[in-house]
Amino acid sequence: MKRYFQMKRIKIIGTGSYVPEKVLTNFDIEKMVDTSDEWIRTRTGMRERRIASEKEKTSDLAVKAAKNAIEDSGIKPETIDLILVATATPDMFFPSTACFVQSAIGAKRSAAFDISAACAGYIYALSVAEQFIRSGKYETVLLIASEIFSRYIDWTDRSTCVLFGDGAAATVLKGIDGKKKDGIISTLIYSDGRYAEFLYLRGGGSSCPLTHESIDNKLHLLKMKGNSTFKIAVKNMTEAARESLTSNGYKVSDIDLLIPHQANKRIIDAVAENLDIPQEKIFINIEKYGNTSAASIPLALDEALREGRIKEGDLILMVAFGGGLTWGSALIRW
């Protein structure tokens, strides 16, 4: 295997995404719980979200996104050294979802494993990929974020059932020689387990195995303390964004595009206000997909590229927050 110990740049050379065909609108949810389209749009910024079919697995979504990213990058699956899948909704406890993806795309020589950091999963996986490439261990990494949260939602709970959607997105990262200063500038990841009860899914793990009783009590479904999560999400995303910029000698005004985790439009607006960044410099697609957890940032990145919102030389800041609690940011020169 070729070694890259003098590697200076890590570039995203391909992106791809996939969302299920089924669309669940706010008007559909109106028929399920006591809520309204106006309330959902006002409180979250969401109009609709995608829902996986009964036959689709998290790995199925991941494979489709991965194939699109591989095609966009122009590489062959056999050249991939490592596959990372960021997901909180894996196919099963083990094997990892990444192993199913590896088999499906024919990446015969790659290592493969999952990363669980909830909605911050893509940033966490990006940081892991960065270290593997910078160390010279690997040259090409396929990073996928894929989620089917619709399987873990209490569809009678109007406070959470409106929020989440299903989807997947992928990026191909490669170590590039040369003196040009584009590529990943830095990644920062953080966690604080003291607040784990703000957002969690208890049932099914070793602390709460699935039983008839646990299912009857809906312990296998997502729980969230919305107000508490909102406040700390705004605070930590703002601080992570500022740290990314100041530690690398940049100002907020240097940002060409902010790609935040698409959890709630009010969270995005609050972070933007704290940073004093104009709306035209923020990419938002939450109205179409809802919160796709780890997939939200790479899905937004892929869409921003397709829409021409990113051009060569742009400074891109990504910031996310998720259960754990976990959060992080990434700064990229395109």
Active site residues: 119, 261, 291
For residue 133, what are the contacts with CB-CB under 8 A and spacing of at least 6?
A: 4, 7, 10, 139, 141, 173, 174, 175
Question: 292 with 318: CB under 8 angstroms?
Answer: no
Q: What is the 3-state secondary structure (H, E, C) of 117-157?
A: CHHHHHHHHHHHHHHHHHCCCCCEEEEEEEECHHHHCCCCC
CA 248 remoteness from chain centre: 23
The residues, ordered by sequence, that sit 6+ positions from 64 with a Cβ below 8 Å of its Cβ are: 18, 168
Give the residue among 17, 255, 295 at the shortest CA–CA distance from 147.
Answer: 295
Q: Which helix (H) or strand (E) holds 325?
A: none
Sign of the alpha-carbon dihedral angle for 248, 251, 252, 258: negative
How many Cβ atoms from other residues are within 10 Å of residue 135's Cβ? 12
Tokens representing 142? 């396929």
Instruction: Measure the CA–CA gap between 43 and 79, rounded to whole angstroms.
Output: 45
Q: Where are the beta strands (DSSP E) in 26-81?
A: 48-51
Q: Give CA–CA dist 263/286, Å, rounded.
A: 7
E strands within 32-138? 48-51, 82-86, 111-115
DSSP at 254: G
- How many CA atoms does the CB half-sphere of 93 hold within 13 Å? 6
